[in-house]
Structure 1
Amino acid sequence: MLYDQYVEELSKLPMTKELSFSESEYRLRVEKVRHIMDARGLDVLLITFTPNLSYLSGYQSFGSGWYKCMVLPREGEPVLHMHQLEIGPAVLTSWVGDVRGVPWSDERGAANGLADILKERKLENKRIGVEIKKPGLGVDLYEGLKRALPNASLLDASDVVGQPRMIKSEAEIDYLRSSANITMKALDAALPMIRAGVTDNQIAAVIYHSLINEGSEYFSTQPIVSAGQRNWFLHTTFKRTPIQVGDTVELEFGAAYQRYTSAICHTVAVGKPSPLVEARSKAINETLDLLFQAVKPGRNGHDIAREIGVGMNDVSPAPSATRMYGYSIGLGFPPTWGEELYFIREGIDLELKPGMTFHTVLAIDKPGTPGVGFSETWVVTESGYEILTAHDRELTVVDA
């Protein structure tokens, strides 16, 4: 297939571009990245990490695991170099005008095609930033670039796009509010049907239906419903498990709105909860309350974590010093809504600034005992914080 002809035909169609933001906002993001490139002495940046590429170009697709790269030179227009299946989504959802394809059958692979673009731009002997520490830059691509561009300097630039992504614009925060609204409706739909005798799959089905029916896109993280012995362990979810009296059911999910997610975690006790479950719920929610008393612009993650953490030590198998009390959330693609840009935990001295967004989930899961977890998604404001998923965090208890 002649991909340049295919892109030209697509571009001539009377379609409405599906941009999440204005082209001017995307170009402002590009300029912020270019300032960082200047400081690093980079002539061009190869962006292969899907959330970063989406942040700068607008690209969205459920097939985001396929090869993709945004070639961002220090000057001139960027290029999107995409697997053939992703050309359509790139043309539809991105503002970038130069979209080029890589066919399945191309024996040279993506590396040579990418090298050709760099040669075309006279960048084959320059300082090239690559996202070495991020998913998307495979070994084959990296080694292929080194072979095809023997005189280039390939430099780690994994954190370049992440720096402007840390501070969300008002438009981004509005998307997180929209996500939170859908997420809360799904929680309201799920809680009444949790009882002994139903399965975790049936609970998950209600969450899926509500999220999608209310307007969510495909999820960055699949909804989690953990019950029975499965919620003794972190990161387990539904698997045809019948709910029994004495179980706790942990729910964690979030709607995706223009790829932005506000997540929530909540726990339900089926029948009268044990003193251990009650103690864990109390400790988690008191710690969350302390967190929101402590956060404000100018404070750093280390100090906040040390200040609020000790309250969980008596009921948690993990000491407070090893806990994470918040991670950045926002723009995401499967398999995770977590941005991995900043954290609230000991050893992290990053300063909180207005526009930073966090998901704080605190869970206690110890083999042999019912798991308990609660969370909120929130944003740092000029005066403190705004909880986007504010809800009743008391342990929900349903009759056996």
Structure 2
Amino acid sequence: MNHHDYRAMLQNTLAGSECPFPESEFQRRHVALSEAMRAESLDALLLTDPSDIYYLTGYNTFEVAVHTALVFTPQRQVLQVPSIETGPAVACTRVDEILDYRWEGVEEVLLPLAEVLADCGSRIGIDRWHGSLRFGVMSDLLERLPGHRFVDAGPLMDRVRIVKSAAELDCLTESARITGLGIEAAAAAVRPGITDSEIAAVGARAMHEAGSEFMSMQPIVTTGRRISIIHTNHQRHRIAEGDPVFLEFGSSWKRYTAPMMRTVVAGRPAEKMQAVFAICQRLYATLLDTMRPGQRFDDAARAGEQVLAPVAAEAFFSGVFGYTVGAQFPPSWVEGSGFIARGQMQRFEVGMVFHLPLCLRLPGQWGIGCSDTVRVTEQGAEPITANPWQLSGIE
């Protein structure tokens, strides 16, 4: 059976059976995006980011390394996938048309895609900065469609996605619950002699047993001076007496992730560790208070910088006090539609959701990190995750 016949048979039996949300939720998203497109005089969008495609159609797969594209107009959605993705395209979505090409036949991508775009109008929005938009696809489309103008529409998608609906908040709340179970299990496993990899395995198992799907990022566990190197991960390192152990987990529920950080010490926390942790606590409280509707992201960042000032020369901080989260796929749970950082002039709105990755790293020594995922309310930000905000030690 070839992939065309396979698609036809699936459409007769399982079409839309794995769609993650009711039609009303997708219709809300389509209306919001269509209005944003009209405001920017866009005729169509060519989307290749797996999370954008999921957001608009429900298309869900663990294979995000292949070319996949969605042509979106207010009247029509056309999804292009390789033959190995025919199943998810049929079962997870209710799009108007599916274009499938042979997995090994990438030369089959361009003609049908160009033909669809040719009928959509001349102003096509793309996300110029996303790595899923392949140079070969874009350069060939420019040759085949000389009368079309391709416009950067990444910011447009960000504006539509950044405020979460009730259905999305439900998903983030469930992810937060599962993330908490994983981080609690991992924290309880910390002791001298165990490896960082074993702790990661304990946390991953707890999250999967509680219902997490495949995660956008695997559990992050580092210990001792390796914490001071940003973005290292578990690597079979054995934990010594007195080592801090840094945990950062994020389960996935309908692709939505609410991450959390926690640090546990395999022994009694040193006085300096307690002092650094206290700065993280003050920073967190400051951000919750300043993340109010109408305030700029820059305002919250500057307030955070004042808290960090006493250790600014000693401890490394990434400069990003928060980033938006939502529905994502590997390799990252960062949605990227907004960053709480200096110079970011966007304003907070009720329903925005941020992870606040508050980790201070003393180069060559260790690091202390603690975080919650929070949502913006009328009164400020409130946590979705349930971090105890304690620098726990193991006696």
Q: TM-score scaled by structure 1? A: 0.94
Alignment match of 1:140 (pick from 133, 136, 139): 136
Residue 153 (structure 2) aligns with: 157
Shift of 1:289: 1.4
Q: Distance in 2 between matches of 1:297 and 1:320?
A: 29
Kindly tell me: are residues 107 and 279 of structure 1, through their superposed partners in 2, closer, same or farther at Cα, counting changes over 3 Å? closer
Cα deviations by residue, 1:257-312 (Å, 9 ceiling, x for unpaired): 00001110000112222222111111111111121122221111111221232222
Letter in 2 for 1:187: I
Q: Distance in 2 between matches of 1:62 and 1:390?
A: 28
Residue 112 (structure 1) aligns with: 111
Residue 350 (structure 1) aligns with: 346
Say if 2:283 and 2:307, in contact at 8 Å, map to a contact too. yes
Say if 1:201 and 1:240, in contact at 8 Å, map to a contact too. yes
- Whether 1:309 aligns to 2:305 is yes
- Whether 1:43 aligns to 2:82 is no
Letter in 1 for 2:126: V
Say if 2:16 and 2:93, in contact at 8 Å, map to a contact too. no
Residue 70 (structure 2) aligns with: 70
Q: Distance in 1 between matches of 2:315 and 2:191?
A: 33
SS of corresponding position for 1:220: coil
Shift of 1:243: 0.1
Alignment match of 1:229 (pick from 225, 230, 241): 225
Letter in 2 for 1:118: L
Letter in 1 for 2:260: I
SS of corresponding position for 1:385: strand
Say if 1:82 and 1:100, in contact at 8 Å, map to a contact too. yes
Say if 2:217 and 2:333, in contact at 8 Å, map to a contact too. yes
Kindly tell me: are residues 150 and 5 of structure 1, through their superposed partners in 2, closer, same or farther at Cα, counting changes over 3 Å? farther
Shift of 1:2: 5.6
- Whether 1:275 aligns to 2:271 is yes
Shift of 1:386: 2.4
* Higher mean C-alpha displacement, 50-59 vs 365-374: 365-374
SS of corresponding position for 2:366: coil
* Higher mean C-alpha displacement, 5-14 vs 162-171: 5-14
SS of corresponding position for 2:326: strand
Cα deviations by residue, 1:231-271 (Å, 9 ceiling, x for unpaired): 12110110000000121100001110000011100001122
Q: Distance in 2 between matches of 1:146 and 1:70?
A: 17
**Runs of 4+ residues deviating >6 angstroms:** 318-322
Unaligned runs of 5+ in 1: none
Say if 1:295 and 1:384, in contact at 8 Å, map to a contact too. yes
- Whether 1:171 aligns to 2:171 is no
Coordinate RMSD, CA, aligned: 1.9
Residue 210 (structure 2) aligns with: 214
Say if 1:330 and 1:337, in contact at 8 Å, map to a contact too. yes
Matches within 5 A, 1:330-341: 330-341=326-337
Shift of 1:320: 9.6
Cα deviations by residue, 1:322-374 (Å, 9 ceiling, x for unpaired): 72211101111101111111111221111110110000011112322111100
Say if 1:253 and 1:263, in contact at 8 Å, map to a contact too. yes
Say if 2:283 and 2:304, in contact at 8 Å, map to a contact too. yes
Letter in 2 for 1:49: D
Q: How many residues align?
A: 395
Residue 367 (structure 1) aligns with: 363
Letter in 1 for 2:128: I
Say if 1:69 and 1:82, in contact at 8 Å, map to a contact too. yes
Cα deviations by residue, 1:126-183 (Å, 9 ceiling, x for unpaired): 1222221112111111001112222222222222222110110011001111011111
- Whether 1:243 aligns to 2:248 is no
Q: Distance in 1 between matches of 2:216 and 2:365?
A: 29
* Higher mean C-alpha displacement, 381-390 vs 187-196: 381-390
Shift of 1:391: 2.3
Letter in 1 for 2:56: L
Letter in 2 for 1:178: E
Unaligned runs of 5+ in 2: none
Kindly tell me: are residues 310 and 14 of structure 1, through their superposed partners in 2, closer, same or farther at Cα, counting changes over 3 Å? closer
Letter in 2 for 1:23: E
* Higher mean C-alpha displacement, 229-238 vs 170-179: 229-238
* Higher mean C-alpha displacement, 60-69 vs 301-310: 301-310
Q: Distance in 2 between matches of 1:139 and 1:118?
A: 17
Kindly tell me: are residues 109 and 143 of structure 1, through their superposed partners in 2, closer, same or farther at Cα, counting changes over 3 Å? farther
Alignment match of 1:197 (pick from 193, 198, 207): 193
Q: Distance in 2 between matches of 1:213 and 1:181?
A: 13
Kindly tell me: are residues 321 and 171 of structure 1, through their superposed partners in 2, closer, same or farther at Cα, counting changes over 3 Å? same
- Whether 1:182 aligns to 2:182 is no
Matches within 5 A, 1:42-61: 42-61=42-61
Residue 89 (structure 1) aligns with: 88
Shift of 1:321: 9.7
Residue 324 (structure 1) aligns with: 320
Shift of 1:22: 1.1
Q: Distance in 1 between matches of 2:242 and 2:389?
A: 20
Say if 1:262 and 1:389, in contact at 8 Å, map to a contact too. yes
SS of corresponding position for 1:51: helix
Identity level (%): 33
